[in-house]
């Protein structure tokens, strides 16, 4: 923080000297006929480059990344800068910081404002100086689901002891299911019901006594679901065990 403050100290000292020069030339050049707007343009020509470097330095320090999309041109004398932030709080903090840092120059015509939800602009007088395109970093999340909990208590306990966020899908019909669902919740894991569903191959369905089949009447589906959630009340939802045929039944999936 010392470098920007020291910079502004010397800048303000230079502005005083610049003001003396302007005043000496004012009557001859009629600079003050347009008042503050003329002074702002003259100031911008005198120290604009150094201030632009200061602004970009602060943007670099307080964002994930930035890229200058367009440098000032005669027909459009403004910077266009894309800035990427970690989150909205970091974005808002940067522009509060810039406004506070540049506040001593507000009497000389420097000011800023938000433009919609995604842009922010700095102005010298009425001329746009910086146009910031604001972007939040895309955040991708992965949910890990451990299926088939209910066969092996010791193996399940190993998953429960992991110091990470996990979702565990517990069989509702196996003897250890209710106990392991309680243990999962106690360990801070989110619980799902791992519901056996009909497979395309009939041989894969033969050993499943608690099975949702394609074409099952609505009343029976509701009864089976209520029984599963009665046995595993910790469950926040369910996923399918097998189910290559059942998951093709849109009516059945709508009930689940």
> What is d(CA 168, CA 235) in angstroms, rounded to the nearest whole number?
9
Give residue 187's pLDDT. Answer: 96
Exposed (0-12), middle (13-18) or buried (19+): which is 94, by Cβ within 10 Å?
buried
Contact between residue 135 and residue 84 where contact means Cβ atoms under 8 Å apart: yes
What 8-state DSSP symbol labels residue 188?
T
- Which structural domain, as residue segments, surrounds residue 117? 2-136
| 66/27: higher pLDDT | 66
**The model's pTM:** 0.51
Which of 85, 111, 136 delimits the end of a domain?
136
pLDDT digits (tens, 9 = 90+) for 18-48: 554 444 444 444 444 444 444 445 455 556 6
List, in sequence order, the alpha helices (H) in 122-170.
153-160
Residue 51 has pLDDT above 90, yes or no: no
Which CATH number belongs to the domain containing residue 59 in this structure?
Answer: 3.30.460
Q: Is the dihedral of CA 97, 102, 103, 109 positive or negative?
A: negative
Mean pLDDT across 101-105: 83
> What is d(CA 87, CA 140) in angstroms, rounded to the nearest whole number?
13
Per-residue b/e over 28-39, b at no fewer than 16 CB within 10 Å?
eeebeeeeeebb
Q: 102 with 224, same domain?
A: no
Q: 110 with 196, same domain?
A: no
pLDDT digits (tens, 9 = 90+) for 211-238: 999 998 999 999 999 999 999 999 999 9
């Amino acid at each position: 923080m010392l470098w920007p403050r020291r910079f502004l100290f010397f800048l303000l000292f230079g502005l005083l000297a610049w003001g003396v020069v302007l005043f000496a030339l004012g009557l001859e050049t009629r600079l003050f006929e347009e008042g503050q707007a003329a002074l702002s343009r003259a100031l911008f020509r005198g120290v604009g480059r150094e201030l632009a470097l200061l602004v970009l330095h602060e943007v670099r320090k307080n964002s994930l990344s930035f890229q200058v999309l367009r440098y000032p041109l005669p027909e459009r004398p403004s910077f266009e800068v894309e800035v990427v932030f970690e989150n909205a709080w970091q974005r808002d903090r940067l522009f509060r910081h810039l406004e506070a840092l540049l506040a001593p120059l507000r009497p000389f015509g420097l000011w800023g404002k938000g433009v919609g939800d995604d842009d922010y602009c700095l102005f010298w007088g009425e001329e746009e100086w910086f146009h910031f395109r604001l972007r939040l970093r895309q955040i991708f999340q992965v949910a890990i689901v451990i299926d088939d909990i209910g066969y092996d208590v010791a193996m399940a306990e190993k998953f429960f002891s992991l110091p990470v966020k996990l979702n565990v899908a517990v069989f509702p019909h196996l003897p250890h299911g209710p106990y392991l669902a309680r243990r999962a919740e106690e360990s801070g894991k989110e619980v799902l019901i791992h519901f056996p569903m009909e497979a395309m191959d009939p041989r894969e369905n033969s050993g499943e006594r608690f099975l949702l089949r394609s074409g099952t009447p609505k009343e029976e589906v509701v009864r089976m679901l209520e029984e599963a959630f009665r046995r595993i009340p910790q469950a926040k939802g369910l996923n399918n065990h097998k189910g290559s045929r059942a998951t093709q039944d849109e009516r059945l999936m709508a009930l689940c």
